[in-house]
Amino acid sequence: MSNHLSELGDEAPIEGRDQLISVFERGARPAADWRIGTEHEKFVYRTADHRAPSYDEPGGIRDLLKEMEGYGWEPVLEGGKVIALKGADGAISLEPAGQFELSGAPLESIHDTCAESNRHLKQCQEIGDRLGLGFLGLGFWPDKTRAELPVMPKGRYEIMRAHMPRVGNLGLDMMLRTCTIQTNLDYASEADMALKFRASMALQPLATALFANSPFTEGKPNGFRSFRSHIWTDTDPHRTGTLPFVFEDGFGFERYADYALDVPMYFVYRDGKYIDAAGLSFRDFLAGKLSVLPGETPRLSDWKDHLSTAFPEVRMKGYLEMRGADGGRWDRICALPALWVGLLYDDSALNAAWDLCKHWTNADHDRLRAEVPRLALNAASPNGGTLQDLAKEVLKIADAGLASRARLNGAGDSEQGFLGPLHEIAASGLTNADRMLAAYHGRWNGDVAAVYAEESY
């Protein structure tokens, strides 16, 4: 989830539908200007007892943020409290229960984004050593109940926590107990966006399978490889899912704007505070009929905030956001952008990827979305065989796409090496969730506490 950070021009009143669509139109840029933005969340815990620290306690989340300022990060305040940081490497923000997120800067290569991630993780480790904190790379808290987790002092999360139980059974779990890795990518035009959106939406379950890393709930196996992914199927049906209209003829910026307009609101941000608008209509807001702000119409910033409250498997906000992966160890942070850049930033690779899935039906998309959280690479591929077989084909395409980009680091290495962990998973058919489950039933002797030693950064 992104934070409210105002941009120039965002306070302009919305006077027509064209302004809504312009947010997407202005995102288009030539291939030479395409960038890579990587976001990754991790769980923070006390190394002494594995407890999740609160915001205010000594050595807790507030102090973690304060220590980060020593590395050149600038604080972002809400209600007088530091709730985020800004810096050369993007932004650091807090998820609802203190999950610690880096939203990286837009960078030119996977080499750059991996170096950025390594800088951030090094800072986390140095501060963690001083404060007695550790950072866990999983998709779901393996041993914590909701009641054991703190709540961060952010107004939008207070509104969401109250609203989630009205619309789904697992929304609070999504907020409090999940972590993800995401990649944000550019498009050249409306047509390029549509093709990238379709290919990435169709293949998002494959990414979920490759990155499956959340098999435990409250200390026991939960029956899923990616419980985090399953949680999204029972969070809020009005703002999640695979969006069948993406695959329809004529899909483009306007159709996505229509979808977003029909997503119920969460809030309106005014004068440093979040006004509860949960369940209300942005269309009513455009007409000056929003009950919590009668007679007032939205600004462009309100529309951008609203776009950040839709949670489909792929999301558009002036760029495309890949949302299917569980949080994971450091090499997975580099592997996710490598996968999607390889598939989407080379025309030949993009067309080849789309050829693999363009004949899939809505029933195929729905079945994959339903089965992958439990089965991961063992799910049946619409092309025959399993997703393990499909993964090998897709990774060959991504590898060729990265080779075609030919972005080398100072040592002459290409970006292809970052796919290494995924090649290993596809070859073995074993996700990190499978490996942890085998350890749980073997050398861990049924004790998930071992994940802190083995899956921390």
**Strands, E assignment, 227-309:** 240-241, 267-270, 273-276
435-454 core/surface letters (b: 16 or more CB in 10 A; e: else): ebbebbeeebeeebebbbee
Predicted local confidence at residue 154, as pLDDT: 96
Predicted local confidence at residue 294, as pLDDT: 95
Closest C-alpha to 8, from 28, 21, 26, 25: 26
> 323 with 164: CB under 8 angstroms?
no
Closest C-alpha to 379, from 252, 250, 210: 210
Q: What is the phi/psi pair of residue 298, to 5°?
A: -75, 160
Structure tokens at 246: 């993406």
Cβ atoms < 10 Å from Cβ of 223? 11
> 320 with 201: CB under 8 angstroms?
no
Region label for 243, one of left (φ > 0), alpha (ψ between -120 and 50) or beta (otherwise): left
Closest C-alpha to 235, from 142, 161, 304: 161
Query: Which ranges constitute the DSSP H helices of 376-416?
Result: 387-405
Integer Cα distance of 231 and 349 in angstroms: 31
Predicted local confidence at residue 4, as pLDDT: 34
Integer Cα distance of 209 and 325 in angstroms: 8
Low-confidence ranges of the chain (pLDDT < 50): 1-8
Closest C-alpha to 202, from 400, 23, 336, 383: 383
Q: State the Cα torsion 266-269-274-277 to the nearest 10°.
A: -30
pTM given for the model: 0.97
Domains delineated in the chain: 28-160+169-242+316-454 (3.30.590.20)
Q: What angle do CA 344, 350, 356 make, to 5 degrees?
A: 125
> 189 with 24: CB under 8 angstroms?
no
Integer Cα distance of 263 and 281 in angstroms: 8
Integer Cα distance of 352 and 454 in angstroms: 37
Residue where the block lists tokens 């209300």? 280
252-270 core/surface letters (b: 16 or more CB in 10 A; e: else): bbeebbebbbebbbbbbbe
Q: In whole angstroms, how large is the CA radius of gyration of the chain?
A: 21
> 266 with 292: CB under 8 angstroms?
no
Closest C-alpha to 305, from 31, 95, 87, 7: 7
Predicted local confidence at residue 284, as pLDDT: 97
Predicted local confidence at residue 345, as pLDDT: 98
DSSP state of 297: -
